[in-house]
């Protein structure tokens, strides 16, 4: 994707929003991508405050948000058929695979996907 190398998982976005120094260099990147699932997970937080919404929306405005398409859905279905994985995680992994991006995550479950280019963050 035009200069975008990384798909940032929801947990890493949370760490960025919290100011965790282990992931702050990703916040400095010119641009990175997130799945629409990450957008929904961040903004769909139960009892989210207006301040949190503004902060998250501002951060997401710096990202390229990748929506679902036929190919991502088919890859996610395939992942779910072949391994035990939560649907949101399967969609995020499928998005990284379909878009040929490195997934940045702290979730070790993604290690099960052989073809996935994963940058595993340890916090």
Question: Domain for residue 37, yes or no?
Answer: yes
pLDDT digits (tens, 9 = 90+) for 6-60: 999 999 999 999 999 888 887 776 678 999 999 999 999 999 999 999 999 999 9
DSSP string, 26-67: HHTSS--EEEHHHHHHHHT-TT--HHHHHHHHHHHTTSEEEP
Residue 1 resides in a domain: no
- Please give the tally of structural domains in the chain: 1
Query: Is pTM, for the whole model, over 0.95?
Result: no
The predicted-structure confidence for 103-117, as pLDDT tens digits, reads as follows 999 999 999 999 999
Determine the structural domain holding residue 92 and report its residue range.
Answer: 6-120
Question: Does some domain include residue 100?
Answer: yes
Residue-wise pLDDT for 69-110, tens only, equals: 999 999 999 999 999 999 999 999 999 999 999 999 999 999
Tokens standing for residue 43:
């903004």
Q: Are 116 and 103 within 8 A, CB to CB?
A: yes
Whether 40 is covered by a domain: the verdict is yes
Q: Packing angle between helix 36-43 and helix 87-99, nearest 10 degrees?
A: 140
């Amino acid at each position: 994707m035009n200069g975008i190398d990384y798909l940032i998982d929801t947990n890493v976005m949370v760490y960025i929003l919290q100011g965790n120094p282990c992931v702050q260099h990703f916040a400095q990147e010119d641009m990175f991508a997130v799945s629409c699932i990450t957008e929904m997970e961040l903004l769909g937080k139960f009892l989210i405050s207006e301040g949190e919404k503004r902060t998250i929306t501002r951060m997401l405005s710096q990202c390229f948000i990748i929506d679902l398409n036929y190919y991502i859905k088919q890859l996610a279905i395939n992942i779910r058929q072949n391994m035990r994985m939560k649907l949101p995680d399967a969609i995020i992994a499928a998005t990284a695979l379909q878009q040929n991006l490195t997934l940045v995550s702290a979730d070790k479950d993604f290690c099960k996907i052989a073809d996935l280019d994963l940058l595993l963050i340890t916090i």
